[in-house]
Amino acid sequence: MTKKIVIIGAGFAGVWSALSAKRLLDLRSQNQGIEILVIAPEPSLVIRPRLYEANASDMTHPLGALFEGARIEFLQGMVRSINYNAQTLDVRSWKRRYPAKEYPGIQQHTFDIDSLESATKLETHLRDLASLPPSPGRNTIVVCGGGFTGIELATELPKRLGHISDYRVVLVENTDQIGLALGPGPRPVITQALEDLGIEVKAGSPVAKLTPMAFLLLLQFPAPKDELSRLHVDQYLRIPTIENAFATGDAASALADTKGHYALMSCQHALQLGRVSGHNAAADLLGEPMIEYSQAAYNCCLDLGSWGAVISAGWDRKVKHTGDVAKRVKCYINQQLIYPPHDSQEALTLANPNWPDSDQLFEQMLQAVG
């Protein structure tokens, strides 16, 4: 009887989970008895870390040929529910869905960059501003949220708004500090960049927000979750309360080290979480020892638009590089490092869960960019 490893989602963790599982099956010559199936709305990887940039419609990476070459099955659709007892899924064709509750004017006056469609919609709006009569409303762009993505979008906007005059970019944050989760180390650099770029900051200004529909599936899992609705997992990324189930990427609340640090909802962690979860899912079926997820080294590279970038090292976020050098590293990450190869055999080789840690990768990138 053929067994299946079913992976829900084709984000960074999903793609590398599929490739890592396939890698182990190939190494053990077990391709006849175990199939790998990826279920996602589209056979493409949306490069979400770049959706704050211009030309959002280009921020995708096709997966069809890669999966075909690696002999990974793909089913286009959306998982609506999971029957754990029967080990079955309810999969429906993909259609855009909106939250049931909407605030007045939310569709007409707000945008997000959580998906390729929404980022493209924002880009069209920014481009079309020049065709509207000049007014304070037309010229003012408000970014809600002063976290990682909010800062990157706000600092990128001056370059994207050069076609209109007298524009204002306002960054609002409900806490009293911008970049609170980024730590005190990079904060002076961020503050300087915001000032130099002329971005107005309004801290301590709460904004109502909507809950993404993507989290509804997570809420169906009868398992403990953290404050971000991520599923608690063990050191092998298994969901302890559900048989034959692993969580990875943004869906997993996973300890990254022995000091109480949890993996972040970031590409840096998703890539390794995917490699480990896929390997362990295949190892579990093969009766082989699984490997523990660990990602003790942590480095953060924040884009600050035309000002440059800032790189901080360690969980205490000590600033290591700023300005042009950091910007070149950020460009290398965004434009090369996070993209999977087109060649399936190269991708399977890179799916090895024994991957260089963040410190090693950053040293390699600094050498690569000079």
pLDDT of residue 340: 96
On average, the pLDDT of the chain sits at 90
Q: Give Cβ neighbours of residue 206 (< 8 Å, ≥ 6 apart).
A: 174
- How many Å apart are CA 57 and CA 136, to the nearest integer? 28
Write down the domain spans for the chain: 106-203
Q: Give Cβ neighbours of residue 245 (< 8 Å, ≥ 6 apart).
A: 84, 221, 238, 239
Q: Is the pLDDT of residue 18 over 50?
A: yes
What mean pLDDT comes out for the span 283-291? 96
Instruction: Return the minimum-mean-pLDDT range out of 104-108, 114-118, 178-182, 184-188.
Output: 104-108
CA distances from 118 to 76, 112, 131, 146 (A): 20, 6, 21, 19
**Size of the chain in residues:** 370
Q: pLDDT band for 13, please (50, 70, 90 cuts).
A: very high
Give the pLDDT confidence of 229-252 residue by residue, as tens digits: 899 999 999 999 999 999 999 999
Indicate the class that CATH gives domain 106-203.
alpha beta
What mean pLDDT comes out for the span 146-159? 96
Give the pLDDT confidence of 187-230 residue by residue, as tens digits: 999 999 999 999 999 998 776 543 333 445 677 788 999 998 89
Locate 230 and state its tokens.
């991520």
